[in-house]
């Protein structure tokens, strides 16, 4: 599995011949958008920074779009969406996605601002191997709250998002300080298999946004 970060809460996950786009940035956003073909597109909320399904279709092949809560199975990929809250850019509803593939559970919190989650959602996230958490404040979780929320679920790996050009400019620095991981250096992509996460306990990986 290869994971790259494309800014805000936008991630690309590739495994085998399948590509998943999570919260792609729309062409209507003031932020730069990446364009690539995806088999599955997950959208957490209706904002220009998260709903760019127009950028993830490939020629005449439409990407399979999921933009709300529910249970889905597409090509051997199992996805569950859970409703949560956000205060980002005038939005109020956010969908958290848990994606099961290659023996791992990936949880994308989207633009979450809720500090407290439902019991059902807590139980689902407790099975997470890789947790993608927004840290920028200004409508989403801030760095301290994001770290506190993330570690309670004991994921093997934590990947922060929603920092840099959006939210608090010191968010990443503050998050790494909270995690005791000030020495972590950004990497352009994460290549990982199930066996790689087995010995991890809340490790933090910072992905450099793809330019």
Residues 146-186 have pLDDT tens digits of 999 999 999 999 999 999 878 777 999 999 999 999 889 99
Q: Which helix (H) or strand (E) holds 195?
A: helix 194-197
Other Cβ atoms within 10 Å of 5 Cβ, number: 26
Beta pairing, strands 64-66 & 40-42: parallel
The helix, strand and coil proportions of the chain, stated in percent and rounded to the nearest 5, come to: 15, 30, 50
Give residue 205's pLDDT band: very low, low, confident or very high (50, 70, 90). very high
Above 90 in pLDDT, residue 193? yes
* Distance in angstroms (rounded) separating the CA atoms of residues 83 and 94: 6
Above 80 in pLDDT, residue 59? no
Number of separate helices (H) and strands (E) present in the chain: 4, 13
* Distance in angstroms (rounded) separating the CA atoms of residues 143 and 160: 9
Fold of 2-204: Metallo-beta-lactamase; Chain A (3.60.15)
Q: Which two tokens stand for residue 125?
A: 């996230």
pLDDT of residue 62: 84
> Per DSSP, what are the bridge partners of residue 204?
158
By mean pLDDT, which of 17-21, 81-85, 162-166, 194-198 is the weakest?
162-166
pTM: 0.96
pLDDT of residue 164: 81
Above 80 in pLDDT, residue 37? yes
pLDDT of residue 120: 87
pLDDT of residue 105: 96
Per DSSP, the three-state class of 151 is helix
* Distance in angstroms (rounded) separating the CA atoms of residues 105 and 132: 11
Query: Which pLDDT tens digit goes with each residue over 102-142?
Result: 999 999 999 999 998 989 888 889 889 999 999 999 999 99
Above 80 in pLDDT, residue 60? no
Q: Which helix (H) or strand (E) holds 179?
A: helix 171-179
* Distance in angstroms (rounded) separating the CA atoms of residues 32 and 52: 11
Give residue 57's pLDDT band: very low, low, confident or very high (50, 70, 90). confident
* Distance in angstroms (rounded) separating the CA atoms of residues 41 and 54: 10
pLDDT of residue 127: 87
């Amino acid at each position: 599995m290869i994971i790259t970060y494309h800014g805000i809460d936008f991630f690309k996950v590739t495994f085998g011949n399948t590509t998943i786009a999570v919260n792609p940035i729309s062409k209507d956003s003031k932020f730069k958008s990446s364009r690539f073909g995806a088999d599955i597109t997950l959208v957490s909320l209706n904002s220009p920074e998260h709903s760019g399904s127009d950028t993830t279709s490939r020629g005449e092949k439409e990407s399979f779009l999921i933009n709300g809560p529910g249970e889905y199975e597409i090509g051997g990929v199992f996805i569950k969406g859970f409703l949560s809250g956000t205060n980002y850019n005038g939005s109020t509803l956010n969908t958290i996605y848990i994606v099961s593939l290659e023996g791992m559970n990936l949880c994308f919190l989207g633009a979450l601002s809720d500090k407290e989650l439902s019991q059902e959602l807590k139980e689902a996230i407790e099975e997470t191997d890789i947790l993608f958490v927004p840290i920028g404040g200004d409508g989403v979780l801030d760095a301290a709250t994001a770290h506190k929320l993330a570690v309670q679920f004991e994921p093997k790996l934590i990947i922060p998002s929603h920092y840099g050009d959006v939210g608090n400019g010191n968010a990443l620095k503050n998050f790494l300080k909270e995690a005791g991981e000030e020495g972590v250096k950004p990497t352009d992509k994460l290549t990982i298999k199930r066996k790689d996460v087995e010995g991890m306990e809340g490790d933090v990986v910072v992905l450099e946004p793809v330019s």
